[in-house]
Amino acid sequence: MTVDAGGGVIAVIGAGAWGVALANAAARAGGAPVPLWGRDGAAVAAMAATREAGSRLPGVRLEDGVAPAADPAPLANADAVLLVIPAQQIRDALARLRPWLGRKGLPVVICAKGIERASGLFMSDVVREMLPEAAPAVLSGPSFAADVARGLPTAVSLAADDEALAARLARRLSGPALRIYHTTDMRGVEIGGAAKNVLAIACGIVMGRGLGESARAALVARGFAEITRFAEAYGARRDTLMGLSGLGDIVLTCGSRQSRNFAFGEALGRGAPVAEASGGKLTEGAATAAVMLRRAADAGVDMPVSAAVAAILDGRMGIDDAIGELMMRPLRREG
Ligand SMILES: NC(=O)c1ccc[n+]([C@@H]2O[C@H](COP(=O)([O-])OP(=O)(O)OC[C@H]3O[C@@H](n4cnc5c(N)ncnc54)[C@H](O)[C@@H]3O)[C@@H](O)[C@H]2O)c1
Ligand SMILES: O=P(O)(O)OC[C@H](O)CO
């Protein structure tokens, strides 16, 4: 792995909002041009011609060093790839792209936030299954694509088993506006990113229902407690959950309508049907809620806030009943 500060080819897989934002950040960080692979040939051709990101990031221009491509061939020359497609699509995408990615030790940095619904696997385990030769890593933290794409100040975490690799990737991708901390706690970073989306839906529901800021603060605190329990049960470190990829992303996503998960919950709280509340936007928390509950049950962890979200999304419970049930749980010691 040759990636180092200012050097090495970083390629991006996925030309949606977050893929474009990270491609811009990687280009700003210097070094070689950044191939940006997208599956939609027409959309990629339009990006290459106009140098505009398109409808997912209106008004955002591609940095000069970003090279959009629908042909996966440039991926074969990458020193590291950023995997920036929805969590539920990663297995299919890797099956298709494996011929260009099957190199020993190739760092594959997962930038999606979710748990695979069909298998219950965390994203790093999906990558290990699909690309057994690769070195998985995870990038996550409080970061709206629109902010990062424009170069607004942002800080995130990057985790890999090998701390030296995590540090090299963090140096390569960091720039004046993007500060990347590194860690070896992949489980903690990936669980924080996946779980906060479910909590953001819960917070959106509460705000959409008009239940007030006190209720939201209670949910954030109790939701953080259950996410930490869940993550620790799967080997994550508590201090990772206290950091950017856990608490940091909860603060961002649970408090802003700019979050698609929060906005989805808010629409539900106002009475929109589950099938319509996202407005066609990606809501990773909706795909992750039920499978996270399954993994929590496997580990004997109680996650009442997330269970309420899953029950609402599955149509097993109405919003008011779910909130009533949360409030009527037996009183217990805090922790
Ligand atoms: N947008 C953000 O602010 C942000 C920030 C941090 C993390 N993320 C995470 O990044 C991931 C992607 O989110 P996004 O905002 O870029 O979504 P998006 O909807 O803007 O883009 C998703 C992209 O993935 C592509 N895609 C979907 N299925 C594919 C497949 N099978 N093969 C190849 N490409 C496929 C789509 O064509 C699209 O270009 C999500 O897990 C999200 O949680 C997003
Ligand atoms: O728009 P959301 O809800 O997918 O959130 C985007 C990022 O994950 C925020 O860190």
Cβ within 8 Å of residue 333, ≥6 positions away: none
Average of per-residue pLDDT across 274-292: 98
- Confidence bin at 280 (pLDDT 50/70/90): very high
The CA 289 to ligand 1 mean position distance, Å, reads 18
Q: Is 3's pLDDT higher than 80?
A: no
Q: Strand 66-69 and strand 80-83: pairing?
A: unpaired
Amino acid at 155: A
Nearest ligand 2 atom, CA 140: 10
56 lines ligand 1 (CB under 6 A): yes
- Mean pLDDT of all residues in 273-293: 98
* pLDDT tens digits along 64-98: 999 999 999 999 999 999 999 999 999 999 999 99
Does ligand 1 come within 6 angstroms of the Cβ of 284?
yes
Share of the chain above pLDDT 70, in %: 98
Tokens of 159: 């985790």
CB 5 within 8 A of CB 70: no
Ligand 1 within 6 A of CB of 85: yes
ipTM above 0.95, yes or no: yes
Q: Which ligand is nearest to the CA of 147?
A: 1
Q: Model confidence over 27-47: pLDDT tens digits? A: 999 889 999 999 999 999 999
Alpha helix stretches (DSSP H) within the chain: 17-28, 41-50, 90-101, 123-130, 145-150, 163-173, 186-208, 213-233, 238-241, 249-253, 260-269, 284-298, 304-313, 319-327
Atom number in ligand 1 closest to CA 145:
3
104: annotated active-site residue = no
Answer yes or no: is 18 a known binding residue.
yes
pLDDT bucket at 7, cuts 50 / 70 / 90: low
Enter the pTM of the model: 0.97
Is the beta carbon of 204 within 6 A of some atom in ligand 2? no
Nearest-atom number in ligand 1 for the CA of 96 is 32
Convert the pLDDT of each residue in 119-173 to its tens digit: 999 999 999 999 999 999 999 999 999 999 999 999 999 999 999 999 999 999 9
| pLDDT on residue 6 | 46
Is 193 a pocket residue for ligand 1 (Cβ < 6 Å)? no
Give residue 82 CA to ligand 1 midpoint distance, Å: 12
Give residue 114's pLDDT band: very low, low, confident or very high (50, 70, 90): very high
- Judge if the beta carbon of residue 116 lies within 6 A of ligand 2: no
Cβ proximity of 19 and 35 under 8 Å: no
Residues 6+ apart with CB under 8 A from 56: 16, 17, 20, 145
- Please state which of the ranges 5-19, 112-126, 271-285 shows the lowest mean pLDDT: 5-19
Nearest to 187 by CA among 26, 299, 334: 299
The tokens describing 327, both together, are 């409030």
**What would the two tokens of residue 297 be?**
């049950």
Residue 335's pLDDT band (boundaries 50, 70, 90)?
confident
Average pLDDT, the chain: 96
Q: What's residue 31's pLDDT?
A: 81
What percent of the chain clears pLDDT 90, i.e. is strictly above it? 94
CA of 112, closest atom in ligand 1: 41
Catalytic residue among 91, 196, 222, 229: 196
Mutate to test the pocket of ligand 1, among 84, 101, 245 (most ligand atoms within 8 A of CB): 84
Could you tell me which residues come within 8 angstroms of residue 195 by beta carbon, excluding any fewer than 6 positions away? Answer: 227, 230, 231, 288, 292, 306
